[in-house]
Amino acid sequence: MRIEILHGDITARKVDAIVNAANSSLLGGGGVDGAIHRAAGGELLEACRELRRTQLQDGLPVGSAVATPAFRLPARWVIHTVGPNRHAGQTDPALLASCFQESLTVAAGLGAQSVAFPAISAGIYGWDARQVAQVAFDAVGSFSSSGRAGDSPLEVVEFVLFSEDTTAVFRTVLESSPGLGG
């Protein structure tokens, strides 16, 4: 599985699935979540409302992931995951790792060959970008070496980062990660 680090707009990526750093309501918000909802159009909000009506009446739990069609985005699917909020006391790296692991599992289940991630929880949720990158790369490495990856068509995992600073951090961490980039 190849890892790529890109500086740019995740909503413009022509990949099979993009990951949305959603809130538990799934009804849109700020940052990446708001950008994805705006770019996908109102159909995404309706699909999320339907998930809330049927499967996720209490919202999507932190660390879980669920997919919807991508509607007006160039991707086929949006995989929604809720990152832990450090400001709310959610400081367990296992919760953050679960976001990446569950999203990869959902992507593989969809038959995705490529998936693009943002820096989940690194923005307003207060996690340090270096820690997010390390947890993300560990999760990709773990998924790649697990039995789950053997049946998966997943070939490319992109990290599409909006800020140049976060992009530089992710590149530095990848280069120093044994077996992944360094």
Q: Is residue 101 part of a domain?
A: yes
**Residue 95, SS3?**
helix
Q: What is the pLDDT of residue 173?
A: 97
Q: Is residue 57 part of a domain?
A: yes
Q: Is residue 73 part of a domain?
A: yes
Checking if the pLDDT of 181 tops 70, the result is: no
33 in active site: yes
Checking if the pLDDT of 150 tops 70, the result is: no
| Structural contact between residues 129 and 166, judged by C-beta atoms closer than 8 angstroms | yes
Q: Is residue 181 part of a domain?
A: no
Checking if the pLDDT of 11 tops 70, the result is: yes
- Residue 77 token pair: 């699917």
Residue 28 one-letter amino acid: G
Summarised one tens digit per residue, pLDDT across range 20-51 is 999 999 999 989 999 999 999 999 999 999 99
pLDDT band at 69 (very low <50, low <70, confident <90, very high): very high
The C-alpha atoms of residue 73 and residue 88 are separated, in whole angstroms, by 31
Percentage of residues in the chain having pLDDT higher than 90: 88
Of the CA atoms within 13 Å of residue 24, those in its CB half-sphere come to 11
pLDDT band at 145 (very low <50, low <70, confident <90, very high): confident
Q: What is the pLDDT of residue 123?
A: 86
Counted domains in the chain: 1
Q: Is residue 138 part of a domain?
A: yes
Q: What is the pLDDT of residue 148?
A: 57
Q: What is the pLDDT of residue 128?
A: 97
Residue 101: domain span:
2-175
Strand runs (DSSP E) across 23-123, as ranges? 65-69, 77-82, 114-117
Q: In the predicted model, what is the mean pLDDT of residues 82-93?
A: 96
Q: What is the pLDDT of residue 147?
A: 61
Longest alpha-carbon distance in the chain: 45
| Structural contact between residues 6 and 167, judged by C-beta atoms closer than 8 angstroms | yes
pLDDT band at 149 (very low <50, low <70, confident <90, very high): low
Q: Is residue 149 part of a domain?
A: yes
Q: What is the CATH number of the domain that holds 160?
A: 3.40.220.10
For the beta sheet containing 77-82, the strands, ordered from the edge strand earlier in sequence to the opposite edge, are: 2-7, 156-161, 114-117, 17-22, 77-82, 65-69
Q: Is residue 180 part of a domain?
A: no
Q: In the predicted model, what is the mean pLDDT of residues 145-165?
A: 85
Active-site pick, 33, 58, 92, 165: 33
Q: What is the pLDDT of residue 146?
A: 77
